[in-house]
A and B are shown apart, each in its own frame.
Chain A
């Protein structure tokens, strides 16, 4: 299995509080991604990174920010959590994102509940 860890694995927080989720990889892959998964919507891309300090938005980026100061870490921040951000969050890594092969490897997920 690819060396990807996510922390925390579970979190319950209150509306309006800031939350940071961490994704850590040991594969030295260039690309890192954050997805959320909700019933009826499948996995949707929030943000991705194509290198240190290089990030871009996905299809559901509102309310989220990211940072990548080191190759191995990709942080997802909810500045002020809302109940609509209750979801399971998956991190993924890829050796390449713009040329074959493109396969992504996913972390175990973080279950976030905003009350």
Chain B
């Protein structure tokens, strides 16, 4: 079973920020939080990851709470092409590639 919980679906207006929450209350100290997304019929796409500190790259920002029990992925200016299923995964050493994809959050960006 996935070790993270996410809302099933969310809507966002085009051009606005999309904030996708994730709970990972059982995350261990050496586990990172990873975000992937899957646009319809395509392979999952890596977005960003973090351990303790907030992270930003060209795609998104990741805000991790101080207790590391939850995080938020932020797409600063959502576009229609950001409509996808977003997966939050906790993963660390010893997992050897065994990413556990839950059901994710279906983000619908609307014009």
Least Cβ–Cβ distance between B68 and chain A, in angstroms: 15
Which applies to chain B's interface (DSSP): helix, strand, loop or mixed? Answer: loop
Partner of A102, one of B2, B42, B91: B91
Total interface residues on B, CB under 8 Å, equals 24
Contact between chains at B46 and A104 (CB < 8 Å):
yes
> In the assembled complex, how far is the CB of residue A111 from the closest CB belonging to chain B, in whole angstroms?
9
The reply to whether the CB of A27 lies closer than 8 angstroms to some CB of chain B is no
Stretch from A62-70, A79-87, A91-99 that touches the partner? A91-99
Q: Which of B41, B101, B102 contacts A109 (CB 8 A)?
A: B41
Q: Is the CB of B49 within 8 A of A90?
A: no
Determine which of A42, A105, A107 lies in contact with B104 in the assembled complex, contact meaning CB atoms within 8 Å.
A42
B98 within 8 A of A: yes
Considering the complex, give the chain A residue whose CB is closest to the CB of B46. Answer: A103
Within the complex, what minimum Cβ distance (angstroms) separates B25 from chain A? 20
Q: Is the interface on chain A under 10, 10 to 19, 20 to 34, or 35 or more residues?
A: 20 to 34
A8 neighbours in B (Cβ, 8 Å) = none
Nearest neighbor of B44 in chain A, beta-carbon distance: A106
> Can you name 17 extra interface pairs (CB under 8 A) apart from A33-B97, A105-B46, A107-B43?
A42-B2, A48-B97, A48-B98, A50-B96, A56-B96, A59-B98, A90-B43, A92-B43, A97-B97, A100-B51, A100-B93, A102-B49, A102-B91, A104-B44, A104-B97, A109-B41, A109-B43
> B interface vs A, CB < 8 Å?
2, 32, 34, 41-46, 49, 51, 91-99, 101-104
- Interface positions of A (Cβ within 8 A of B): 31, 33, 42-45, 48, 50, 56, 58-59, 90, 92, 94, 97-109
Lowest 6 CB-CB distances: which A-B pairs, in order? A106-B43, A42-B101, A43-B101, A97-B97, A103-B46, A48-B97
